[in-house]
Structure 1
Amino acid sequence: MPVGGRMSPGVTFERIYRELKRQLRDGVLAPGAPVEPAVIGHELGASITPVRDALHRLTGEQLVETPQHNGFRVPRLTEMELRDLYAWNGLVIGVATSRAKVDMVRDIRPPEDAETIAGRTAAMFLRIAAATGSGENLRAVGQLNDRLAPFRRAEQQVLDGLAEELEEMTGLAAAIGRTRLNRALARYHQRRTTETPRILAATLNAHA
């Protein structure tokens, strides 16, 4: 709430944090690009302190990195790192499907870009995680969604049949058909680990 015509520090921090996270998820900031707190503060109308605080929080979420503790930058994943990230997503979702309870499946408020395949995929994975009743699983899936968001958009330039793939998994997730869902999820992640070089190239080319 504004105090003396100015926003309180907590409100300013949350505004900066959410906007930076949106830019990172949407791929506005190029992989490997430096993130200058002074520049961000000027663009978003804030002092450098809440910007640095937000960047430190995003570093903890692995959306930003501090190479050798010398400034901030957007992570630029290697092929191996992206494969590992897809594999980790598969493991976390696998745990969620094994623990999901039919009577706990409920709607999760979709992200702002839920009209896209990438957004609907993120919402589906959140729904599966929510069905476990585990806050830890839900947070883990949410963070993976954030880190994979730019790559999921790039997948649309590389992989065919994404809408059909998502429709199949969404239907199986709603029914909690574990065996068939696990097979569909295994195919989903295998496709992406196989096509990691092309997905990574498409992500980088978006900023060429």
Structure 2
Amino acid sequence: MNPGPTFDRVYLALKEQLLSGAFVPGAHLEPVAIGEHLNASITPVRDALHRLVGERIVEAPRHNGFRVPAPTEAELRDLYGWNAELLGLALRGACGRMRADRAHGRAATVSASDLTAWHAADLFRFVARRHGNPELEAAVENMSDRLAPLRLAERAVFADFEDEILVLRSLVAAWEAGALRREVAAYHRRRQRQVPELLLAWRHLPGMPETTIK
């Protein structure tokens, strides 16, 4: 892998585009075209794509080129389900740590005003960090990356999307463990029920046809 600054620049720029929904699901990612777009040679582009394959943000089917993942309905339900499982595990561990910290008068707090700009990924990252296991935190972070384009699509599918995030923010700020566990579970079940609509909305995110690199 190329460890130089060009690789870092290309990797971060390409990852940002993928997470921001700049590519349609299943879009072919051509290293030469990406290199021209990012003013880079093919080597750091291919290295960046291989790293993103390792993170499961990009696919390399049969090692025959690169493409944006295009999950089926069943696969997307599984992704949401696994994210819910990870967060359930994080919440169980975090609640135990919170009880111990409160017993010793050292519980960490966060105010609702601190969370004003936080969205689902930020809230879930905070929960994972409270668990205290770096491996779990990394797993939650990776799931947030893989679901990032879908979270943009969620805004088009759920009319009360912002209200839902406000509820999560308030529960995280107050650290109401039982209510937070129930809300996180309901959050994911709701998305699992709307998977067909979410996949359709993902395909029609603003700007997609113009920004896809083929």
When structure 1 is superposed on structure 2, of 97-106 and 50-59 the one drifting more is 97-106
Is the Cα contact below 8 Å between 1:93 and 1:125 reproduced in 2? yes
SS at match of 2:56: coil
Structure-2 separation of matches of 1:33 and 1:168: 35
Is the Cα contact below 8 Å between 2:153 and 2:198 reproduced in 1? yes
Residue 102 of structure 2 corresponds to: none
Structure-2 separation of matches of 1:86 and 1:78: 12
- Report the TM-score when normalising by structure 1: 0.86
What's the CA shift for 1:205?
Answer: 2.4
Are residue 21 (structure 1) and residue 20 (structure 2) matched? no
Are residue 90 (structure 1) and residue 84 (structure 2) matched? yes
The structure where helix makes up a greater share of residues is 2
Is the Cα contact below 8 Å between 1:106 and 1:130 reproduced in 2? no
Is the Cα contact below 8 Å between 1:79 and 1:196 reproduced in 2? yes
Structure-2 separation of matches of 1:9 and 1:78: 35
Is the Cα contact below 8 Å between 2:93 and 2:131 reproduced in 1? yes
1:20-59 alignment runs, 5 A limit: 20-59=14-53
What's the CA shift for 1:145?
Answer: 0.8
- In structure 2, do the counterparts of structure 1 residues 104 and 134 end up closer, same or farther at CA, with 3 Å as the change threshold? farther
| Gap runs ≥5 in structure 2 | 99-106, 210-214
Residue 202 of structure 1 corresponds to: 201
Is the Cα contact below 8 Å between 2:84 and 2:184 reproduced in 1? yes
Structure-1 separation of matches of 2:23 and 2:161: 25
| CA offset digits 1:172-205 (Å, max 9, x no partner) | 2223322111111111111100011101111112
| CA offset digits 1:78-103 (Å, max 9, x no partner) | 11111000001100111111111333
Paired residues in the alignment total 193
Does 1 or 2 have the higher relative contact order (CA < 8 Å, sep 6+)?
2
1:41-190 alignment runs, 5 A limit: 41-100=35-94, 101-102=97-98, 103-104=107-108, 120-190=119-189
| Gap runs ≥5 in structure 1 | 1-7
- Report the TM-score when normalising by structure 2: 0.84
SS at match of 1:51: helix
Is the Cα contact below 8 Å between 1:105 and 1:131 reproduced in 2? no
What's the CA shift for 1:105?
Answer: 5.9
What's the CA shift for 1:134?
Answer: 1.4
- In structure 2, do the counterparts of structure 1 residues 104 and 95 end up closer, same or farther at CA, with 3 Å as the change threshold? farther
What's the CA shift for 1:160?
Answer: 2.5
When structure 1 is superposed on structure 2, of 160-169 and 97-106 the one drifting more is 97-106
| CA offset digits 1:83-142 (Å, max 9, x no partner) | 0000011001111111113335669xx9xxx95xxx611111111111111111111111
Structure-2 separation of matches of 1:170 and 1:91: 20
Backbone CA RMSD of aligned residues: 2.0
